[in-house]
Amino acid sequence: MLRIVGKTNIDFIGKRKIAFIFSGILITLGIISAIAIIVGKADLGIDFTGGVLLHGNFEKSINISELRSALNEAGFKGATITEVQGENVPPNSVMIRYKTTQVNSDSLFGDRILSAIRKNIPDNKFALDSIDDIGPSVGKNLQSKARLAILLSLLGILAYIWIRFDFRFAVAATVATFHDVLAVMGVFFIFHKEITLLVVTALLTLAGYSLTDTVVVYDRIRENLKMFRKRSSFGDTINKSINEMLSRTLMTSITSILVVFVVFVLGGEVVHDFALALILGMIIGTYSSVFVASPMIYEWEKRSPKRMK
């Protein structure tokens, strides 16, 4: 089997306190991010706040400041304008995001933005590719459903690991997965990245990815506990198991990250943050399966012996 690293003998358990401090910082940032989302202080996408997402392209080159002035004049101050480029993207393409919590009964905000562009920039024909209008009530509903989806996924992980291993493994795996989700949310919050439905999808995806990595290590720990119960301490057995699976873990993570990185670079603006969340999640998930999930079991066993008496 191809190995990225040779045989290792790293004392992961010995470094657990440093890892726990680092993880504590990540979790704290994630909790701050979660609170900011709940109180409406985070940078939420129009999926959750309500607003307009409009894609289109101009016949001739357009100055972004000119387009922004046209939107400001029509009353759409604060709209986010992004130039979109790519191999299969028409030239002079733009993406316009406008968040609003107002309900406009006369006409959709997207139609009003489109009219403003065509009225204030009459000498540069604008072709509409797509337009999405999301009302604030729909955004609130999506927020609650997104939170519920993440909560149910974590409860599902807890139940699955509990059945497959035992309660201590289940709690450690769930905490590690929760750690990964919060860490990515914290990074997005620090760098003022929008939390959209695609980002939530990425968080749910990385929860499954992180769990797979953790289960592989847990399986090896369980096998080695049966083989070396009388010859090795519990901590040595965990270290041995992690070291044995380290090359496989790194191989899986690196190949997965390379694929997602291609999407990040070439996928365009729409999937950019989705791919970024996956890349961050894969890196953090690999770290947590080694430095969080397994050391937590050791710490629990140390305080309340069950397996190695």
> In sequence order, which residues have a C-beta less than 8 Å from that of residue 22 and are 6 or more positions away?
none
d(CA 147, CA 11): 37
What's domain 13-44+138-303's superfamily in CATH?
Answer: Multidrug efflux transporter AcrB transmembrane domain (1.20.1640.10)
* DSSP letters spanning 31-89: HHHHHHHHHT-S-B-HHHH-EEEEEEEESS---HHHHHHHHHHTT-TT-EEEEE--TTS
Mean pLDDT, all residues of the chain: 82
Predicted confidence (pLDDT) per residue in 57-71, tens digit: 888 888 888 888 888
pTM of the full predicted structure?
Answer: 0.79
Other Cβ atoms within 10 Å of 252 Cβ, number: 17
How far, in Å, CA of 135 to CA of 219, rounded? Answer: 47
Instruction: For residues 42 and 289, give the distance between their C-alpha atoms in angstroms, rounded to a whole number.
Output: 28
pLDDT bin (cut points 50, 70, 90) of residue 103 is low
Q: Which two tokens stand for residue 298?
A: 């050791």
pLDDT(1) > 60? no
Inform me whether the pLDDT recorded for 228 exceeds 80.
Answer: no
Query: Is it the case that residue 261 has pLDDT exceeding 90?
Result: yes
Domain locations along the chain: 13-44+138-303, 51-134
- Equal fold, 13-44+138-303 vs 51-134: no
- The answer to whether the CB of 204 falls within 8 A of the CB of 150 is yes
Q: What is the pLDDT of residue 229?
A: 62
pLDDT in tens, 270-309: 788 889 999 999 999 889 888 988 888 888 888 877 654 4
- Higher-confidence residue of 86 and 249: namely 249
Which tens digit of pLDDT belongs to each residue from 79-93?
888 887 766 778 888
Structure confidence at residue 280 (pLDDT): 92
Q: What does the pLDDT read at residue 257?
A: 92
Neighbours of 222 (CB within 10 A): 15
Span 48-63, average pLDDT: 82
* pLDDT for residue 5: 64
Mean pLDDT of 234-245: 86
Is the distance from CB of 213 to CB of 249 less than 8 angstroms? Answer: yes
Highest-confidence range of 22-26, 57-61, 203-207, by mean pLDDT?
22-26
Amino acid at residue number 237? T
Residue 255 phi, psi (nearest 5): -65, -40
Percent of the chain with pLDDT over 70: 89
- pLDDT of 309 reads 46
Q: 105 falls in which pLDDT band (50, 70, 90)? A: very low
Whether the predicted pLDDT of 168 surpasses 50: yes
pLDDT of residue 2: 53
pLDDT at res. 135: 67
The CATH class that applies to domain 51-134 reads alpha beta
